[in-house]
Amino acid sequence: MTMLRFMTAGESHGPCLTAILEGLPAGLKLDEAAINRDLSRRQAGYGRGGRMKIEHDEVKVLSGVRFGRTLGGPITLQVANHDHANWGARMAAFGEPEGPMVTAARPGHADLTGVLKYEREDVRDILERSSARETTMRVAVGAICKEFLQALGMSVVSQVLEIGGVKADPARIDRSQLGQPDTTEVGCLDPIAAEQMKEAIDAARREGDTLGGVFEVTVRGVPIGLGSHIQWDRRLDAQIAAAMMSIQAIKGVEIGAGFACGELPGSQIHDEVFLGEDGFPCRKTNRAGGLEGGMTNGEEVVVRAAMKPIPTLMQPLHSVDVASHEEVSACKERSDACAVPAAAVVGEAMMAYVMAAAVCEKFGSDSICDLKKALRAYNERLRKAWCAR
C-alpha cells in the first residue's frame, strides 16, 4: 500500500467539499496562496458556465499544518460551496425532501447506472457526488503535492492540445512556455489554434452543445527509478493511467508516443541511448514519455488524456425517466460548454499526487529533510556506480 493517500467528500451543492491527505513528510513548507491559485485556475477557462460565477473557491486548512509547515499527520482541507445557500432545503441531511425530484437521466453521465446500482429514486442522489465539482478537492490536494515535488526539484505543467477537433500545431508550440500564466483562456500554447478553439466553443454554446478535447501533462526534473517492473500494481505508468482515467469525462490516456506506437516500426519509436557530455546515459528523443518498464527513466514524464464532451446539454438528448419508465428528454443542469482547460488543471493535480506517492514510497516520508538527503544520496550513487564501471 502506498505511503501517500487521499480521500475526498462532499456533494456538488452541499455545504462544503473536504479532502484528507495523509502521508506527506513533516517540515514541508506550504503556500496557501499557491493552493488557491490552482483552485482559481480550475474555475477559469473559456467555455465555463454560470456555476463558476457563483463559486470563489478558497481553501481552509483544518489540520496537519502549523505556521505554514506540515506536521506529518493528516492534512484536512475544506472548500465552501457558496451555492449551497440556494440549495439548503433540497440538500438537507435530515428532514423531509423538498423541491422537485430529478428523474430524467442524462446519457453519458452516472445518472441511470447509479440510480439502478444504488436503488435510488431521485437522480440527484447520484449526480451530486458524481459531479466534476468533486475535482475541486483533487486540485487542492494536487497543489500541495506540487509544492512537495517542487521542493525536490520537480515541476508539473500542462497544456491543451485539442478542443472540438481543433488541434494545436506542434511547430507553433514553444515548450519553454509550459507552466507560464495562460493568456489564451483555453490553455493552448498555439495562439492561432487557441482562437479557433474559442470560436468552436462559441458555436457549440449557441447550439446548446458541448465540446471535449485533449490535454497534456508534463513532469520535469524526475529522478530515475520511480515505480517498479516487479509487480503489475507497482508499475508507475499503470498508476498514472489509472489516476488520469479517474477524472470525470476522461475516456483515453496515452503516455509518450501513445497510440502511435501501434502504427510505427520499432526503429521510429524506441528512444536510442547515448552518452552525455558528463558520461552518463541520456536520450535525444522521448517517445517513451519518460517511462520504461514501469519506471521513470530520467526524461520528462509526458501524458495526454482525451476528455469527452460534458453530458449535460442545453439541447437535451433522448433518454428515459427513472420514475415513469417512459422515454423523455434528459434533464438540464447548469453546465459548461467546454471544460477541457479546467480538466488539464485536474490532470496536473492527479499527476502530482501519483508522482509524490512514488517519491514517498522510494525515499520515505517521515521528514522532508531526511527525504531530501535520501534523494541526493541516491542520485549520487547512480552516477558514482556508473562511472566506476
DSSP 117-153: HHT-S-THHHHHHHSGGGHHHHHHHHHHHHHHHHHTT
Q: Which three cell numbers stand for residue 246?
A: 479517474
Give the chain's radius of gyration (CA, Å).
22
Instruction: Classify 2 as helix, strand or coil.
Output: coil
Which three cell numbers, joined as nine digits, stand for 309? 464532451
Strand boundaries in 189-293, DSSP class E: 213-220, 250-255, 273-275, 281-283, 291-292
Q: Cβ neighbours of residue 300 under 8 Å, at least 6 residues apart?
A: 218, 219, 220, 222, 286, 289, 290
DSSP 350: H
Q: Is 321 helix (H, G, I), strand (E, B) or coil?
A: strand
CA distances from 317 to 102, 105, 107, 109, 307 (A): 15, 10, 7, 12, 19
**Res 51: pLDDT:** 62
CATH superfamily of 5-387: Chorismate synthase AroC (3.60.150.10)
Determine the pLDDT at residue 1.
47
Strand order of the β-sheet with 5-9 is: 5-9, 16-22, 75-80, 60-63
Closest CA to 383 of 276, 236, 226: 276
Q: Which residues contact 364 (CB under 8 A, 6 or more apart)?
A: 3, 25, 370, 371, 374
Strand, coil or helix: 83:
helix
pLDDT at 267: 95
DSSP assignment letter at 309: P
CA distance linking residue 306 with residue 343, whole number of Å: 10
Q: What is the pLDDT of residue 385?
A: 85
Which helix (DSSP H) or strand (DSSP E) does residue 39 occupy?
helix 32-43
Sketch the domain layout of the chain as residue ranges: 5-387
Closest among 202, 201, 174 to 188, alpha carbons compared: 174
- For residues 375 and 25, the answer to whether their CB atoms sit within 8 Å is no
Query: How far is residue 290's CA from residue 298's CA, in Å, rounded to a whole number?
Result: 6
pTM for the structure as a whole: 0.95
Residue 216: strand pairing partners: 159, 304
- Per-residue confidence of the chain (389 residues) as pLDDT tens digits? 458 999 999 999 999 999 999 999 999 999 999 999 999 999 999 988 766 667 789 999 999 999 999 999 999 999 999 999 889 889 999 999 888 999 999 999 999 999 999 999 999 999 999 999 999 999 999 999 999 999 999 999 999 999 999 999 999 999 999 999 999 999 999 999 999 999 999 999 999 999 999 999 999 999 999 999 999 999 999 999 999 999 999 999 999 999 999 999 999 999 999 999 989 999 999 999 999 999 999 999 999 999 999 988 888 888 998 999 999 988 876 678 999 999 999 999 999 999 999 999 999 999 999 999 999 999 999 998 888 76
